Amino acid sequence: MSPQTTKPKSTFHYQSSLPRLPIPKLEKTLERWLISIKPFATDKELEEAKSLAQDFLKPDGLGQKLQERLINYDKTQAESWLDKFWLDNAYLVWRDPSLINVNWGTVTQDHPSKPQSPPSNFRGFTRYQIARASHLIHHLTKLHESIINEEFPITKSGKDESSAICMNQYKKVFGVTRIPEWGVDRLEASFPCFSTHIAVLVQGQIFKLNVYKILENGERIVNSIEDIEYQLTQLIYDKSITKYVDFTHVTGSHRDLWTQFRQSLIQHDPTNLKSLQSIESALFSLSLDDYVVPSNPTSQYQNAFHGTGYNRWFDKSLNFIIDASGSLGLNGEHSPIDALVPTQLLDHCASQPFNWTKDTSNEFSSESLKSDLESWKTRGLIKDIHKPQHLEFKIPENLHDLIKSGQEQINKLISNSDSKVIIYNDYGSEFIKKSAKLPVDGYLQMVQQLNYYQLFGKLASVYETASIRKFKLGRTEAIRAASQDAKNFIQFANNLLKKNSDSISAQDYQKAYNLLSKACLTHRTNTIEASNGNGVDRHLLALRLLLRKNESHQIFQHPTFINSCKWDLSTSQLFSSKNLGGTGFGAVQPQGVGENYYHRPKEFTFTVECKRDNKTLTGGIKQWEEGLIKCLKLVKNIALKGQVEKSKL
């Protein structure tokens, strides 16, 4: 007899049994906060902060009242006290442009089947581009089906059943759009989402493309890859459309400008509302760019992260981008979901078999695409295939000034953004685990913080993302990664950076390694605490939001509190994949650095962003990269030469 197979549990099987996010004890949060500010505070500031914390903690003090309000508020929330606080105040109330400030970008590695790129001055579309897009659309739609049918595998942090984590973010992947509103934006989302179309952007024109066949009995069948190839080819060469002025960049501009523009469009003509609703209800958006991005990770990443600012819908939770050479990227709107979930889906799609076998002799000729259309017609492949619909917009003259203002805003944002994908392959995580005998994340954090210190001349206030998805509706907590132990290592190692490697003594290496080990151990402890819901920042955010009119406490105005929330170095680690070429986001502070990183056994990838008008980092990302490499080499030497062999008994 064959062994009985166990049916996999449904995607959201464990949701109801997940624990709620705990409310930390107030005294513990303040204790952790005081520890976190010690590396930055003067003795006087630290004593003032301790005194304020004691006053805040008094039995009849404001802190206890706020804590009691939070406990009562938690009882009114179905699943989490943090969810709405975080969504609204981390994202939806902010009026700054989403482009670069909120949205993140990622790019995949070039597929092995990718043909030779067109010349740099090429303008148009290619067979390979359309084939890659069709493959992506088909597999994304299949993933959407698996999620709404609850067949998508449950993510676990370990091997046993108790390690299942919250899958709620998968409900907010497809068919989700941020809608600009005065004061605070809103999310257009529902689950399950039964939309049957996507939005395709081509040269600033937007099309509705159905990705399902609906049978008479109501059954939904995902269009085949070949069906979608035909649809996209038909879309590109539809000469019957009346083009409107490209306003897509306005979606990435200041939220109030975009709100004014959108509401004016709706008021001008009901056709505009209908078209907007088609975009906003689409499963996702896809941008087909009519230009060639240089074949290097940084250029490809920048096209995904911001591009020219045009031919994108920055409010869609997922906006995929494919240029004329077939390079694939994703721009993600951050408010409904964190980058980990969409990048896992993109990684899955990039892993699916894709064999490019077509004759490439006329690869970049528009005639080749036209001949494909004729071939499809001859073979009768157009039956029951939905013709893409060009969405109509009627844009009054009085909105052209807003379009121009939006253009000026995004041009300024993009020109001031300096970013790079840094791939370092002298060593990787294998060395850190086996030779350095240290935790990989702590090690890489110390490298990045050391680099900041040597370049800026001060310790960075560091944000690192920790996952709290072991709890219902869990998203992230902040790891305050700049600890006193990190400071001790960084200051000592910075002195070693100034020396010639030959002049560093064995004792110096040993001391540096001991300090590094202690800093990594502290970092691991802080990471575990944050992941267990015992961080500092989310709890203090909630308490501040529960202040009533005319209520205040000096602790919230003290320099140590304010400065500890200004993230000089904003960091996040992503899973390693052979398919990903770089993932990143913008610096949080105008004079700061944003850095996403992941590791492979033999290499590290850092995707870094800073502003070109950064007054300290005048050499921009090139200066950061040079410093980073210097720090990676030094810390490797510390790990190699600083360990004292234990005597064998």
Q: Could you list the active site residues? A: 334
- Confirm if 129 and 325 have CB atoms less than 8 A apart: yes
Tokens of 237: 């060469």
HSE, side-chain direction, 13 A CA sphere, residue 172: 22
- What CA–CA distance (Å, rounded) separates 401 from 380? 47
Two tokens, residue 6: 């166990």
Distance CA 463, CA 85 (A): 19
Q: What is the DSSP letter of 22?
A: P
461 near 487, Cβ under 8 Å?
no
Query: Which residues is 270 bridged to in the sheet?
Result: none
Do 450 and 488 touch, CB atoms closer than 8 A?
no
Q: What is the CA angle 151-154-157, rounded to 5?
A: 170
CA distances from 577 to 180, 300, 340, 438, 617 (A): 34, 17, 12, 22, 31
Contact 391, 207 (CB under 8 A): yes
How far apart CA 125 and CA 106 sit, in angstroms, is 22
Range list of H helices, 325-422: 340-351, 366-378, 400-415
* Residue 294 DSSP label: P
End-to-end CA distance of the chain: 55
What letters, b where the CB count within 10 A reaches 16 and e where it falls short, cover 581-594?
bbbbbbbbbeebbb
Lookup result for tokens 């390694």: 513
> How buried is residue 277: exposed, middle or buried, by Cβ count under 10 Å (0-12/13-18/19+)?
middle
Helix-then-strand count for the chain, H and E: 19, 18
Map tokens 């110390």 to a residue: 446
Instruction: Give the residue among 302, 300, 335 at the shortest CA–CA distance from 318.
Output: 335
DSSP assignment letter at 156: B
- Runs of H (alpha helix) within 201-296: 225-236, 255-268, 270-280
Task: Give the SS3 label for residue 321.
Answer: strand
Q: Check whether the bond before 8 is cis (ω within 30° of 0).
A: no
